Each structure stands twice: as structure tokens, then as C-alpha cells.
Amino acid sequence: MRVSDVGEFGLIDRLSKLLPRSQQDLLVGVGDDVAVLRSPEGRHLLLTSDAQVEGVHFLKERTSAEEIGRKLVAVNVSDIASKGGQPRHLLVSLVLPPEIEVGWVEGLYTGIRRDAELYGLDVAGGNVASSPDRLVVDAFLMGDVAPEFLVQRSGARPGDIVCMTGCLGDAAAGLLLLVNTGLEVARDHAEVVRAALVTPTARLREGQVIAAERGATAMMDISDGLLSDLGHLSRASSVGARLWADLLPISDAARAVARLSGRDPVEWALSGGEDYELLFSAPPDRAAAVAKSVRNATGTPVTVVGEVRPTEEGVVVVREGAEFSLSAEGWDHFRR
């Protein structure tokens, strides 16, 4: 049996069974993108890790080193943001072919520094190892959060509504343009979707505002695709959910690229992946206040995209009046 047969999440399930029960100070462990450690005094510690692999997450000939460095920071910050936390210290673990240009690695660090400053964290160290061929840039990020502001994945309750920041599908549109360079897209649209893919913005301030409002019952970032990540949130909370596909926020740019390439923008929004928006649930009487605070503090729109339902209903997508009951599978890194 190969990893491609069980998929990423099947693999993680199996591996977590091999580990001993967690220590007492580990509030959240294997299976979440962020480990949460209870600290004896003050703030909880948040630990996360995310790698960018050449040929999988980036193409060296289509993306600059600086962009890859910026994205490495942003995708890790997005995980800390999803817990309402503040990123603090980054370790960068490089696996480099010896013949790589020093200037390329310096460009990578220029990008890392740029986004590190943007999000208020420092680069504390890391490691350099050599690779015979493939380039991997891996990072580990430590952050923290006040215990009363921590939002976990597991608190969604039937009756809550499901909200998200920003919009979906831009990164998927950007990926299509990166590969299919012949497509004639308006320049401003091309720039929007390319930037969403290669230099995503972590919704850090938004996550902190959502957490500080104390209205959200569960939160995570949308990295694998909305449907897949709503599936994770639903399982962690032991609930079902209904997603209203016709309400999904999709940018004009993504719609334009979809139209020109004959793709379905709603499909991108549901399972394109790499959106790095925040998905959260909140009771109806709190959601509007949370959304307003986010808009006021950051300018980022918040959209209602669904509702939390009892677990036996599963995750259902409602589109143009029809209901689709789906096993939540978005971007699973291994399945064929």
C-alpha cells in the first residue's frame, strides 16, 4: 500500500495512532496544522510547519526566489492567523542542490525578510542541508496567543453560520495562467491572480480581530480548498455543514480567467486550494459584529457561505437549487 492510496489525511490518521497520548501541556497536537501548547504563565505557544517543494509548490523558472521566500513566510503565518495568534520566530530549513546560485538563495532570504517584517516576526535561525537535485524550502514558525483568544477547529455547533474572509479561486486561476501562458487575459486580472498564487497574503490581522471579538466558535485557514477544509473543521467539531455555492465570493479576475479558459469558477472556489483565507463559524447573533469588526479594522470583506448542521447531515453543497452530498475532498496532496 502506497501513500498515494491512502492520501495525505489517511496517512496522518495512521501516523497519529503510532504516537503516544499527548503530554498534558499539549492542547492541540497531530492532525491539526498548528500545535498548541499550554504555557504555565501567560500566552499559549503555537507551533507550525509548512514546506515549499520545487516542482510541486513552485516552478523555479516561473517564480522568483523572492516570491518563493515571501510565500514560505505567508503560508506559515496563515496557520498562526487561523488560531488568532501572533507569529514570533521563524526557522528556515533549506535543502539545496550545491550548484544553485548564491544570488538565488539571497533572493529567497530577501523575500523571507520582506514578509517577516510585514507580519512582525523575526528569523531566528534554521538549517542548511544539501540535496543532489531537488530544492526544498521548509519553515517552522512559533507564535503565541492569549488563552482567552485561542480559536480551535472543534467548537462549531449546529445553528452557527459559516463565514470566510476575502475571496476564493484566484490562486487556482493564477496556477492556470502560470502553466498556460498563451491565454490572453487583461493585464490587471492576470496580475491579481498571479499575485494570489505566488505571493499570497496571510489574513493575520483578520484572524486576530476575529479572535478578539470572541464571536467565532471554530476557525481554520483555507489552504487545501474550501470544501476539504470545511470537511476538516466539521470533523474536528463533530458537525455537518451546508455550503451555499452560489454565495461564494469569487473575484472578477478569477471569473474572467475561468471564462477565457472554459473553466468553472465555482469549482475553483470549492476545491482550487491555496486561497489562504480564513474560514470560521459563529452564532448568528455574533457573526455580523465579527464581520463588521474585520471590515473596519482591515478593509477585508467577510462573506456568509453556509451554516453548521447536525453531524448526521454531513457536508452538503447547495448549488442552483440542487444539493450535492460530498465526501470532503479538496486538494489532497497524494491521492491519484
Q: Of residues 102-121, which lie at the interface with a copy of itself (CB under 8 A)?
A: 102-103, 105-106, 109-110, 113, 117
Separation CA 114–CA 199 (nearest Å): 11
User: Is residue 69 within 8 Å of residue 103, measured between CB atoms?
Assistant: no
- Is 30 an interacting residue with respect to a copy of itself (CB under 8 A)? yes
Nearer Cβ to a copy of itself (131/298): 131
List binders of a copy of itself among 36-75 (CB under 8 A).
37, 40-42, 45, 47-53, 55-57
List binders of a copy of itself among 118-157 (CB under 8 A).
122-134, 136, 138, 140, 142
Nearer Cβ to a copy of itself (34/190): 34
Separation CA 306–CA 289 (nearest Å): 17
Among 4-12, 151-159, 204-212, 305-313, the segment contacting a copy of itself (CB under 8 A): 4-12
Label residue 168 exposed, middle or buried (CB < 10 Å: 0-12, 13-18, 19+): buried
CB of 56 to a copy of itself, least distance (A): 6
Separation CA 264–CA 250 (nearest Å): 11
Number of neighbouring beta carbons within 10 Å of residue 321 = 6
CB of 10 to a copy of itself, least distance (A): 8
Q: Sheet containing 240-244: which strands, arranged edge to edge?
A: 218-222, 277-282, 161-165, 302-309, 240-244, 315-319, 322-325
Nearer Cβ to a copy of itself (56/186): 56
Separation CA 252–CA 244 (nearest Å): 19
Nearer Cβ to a copy of itself (139/245): 139
DSSP state of 172: H
Nearer Cβ to a copy of itself (14/259): 14
CB of 6 to a copy of itself, least distance (A): 6
CB of 101 to a copy of itself, least distance (A): 6
Q: Residue holding cell 465570493?
A: 249
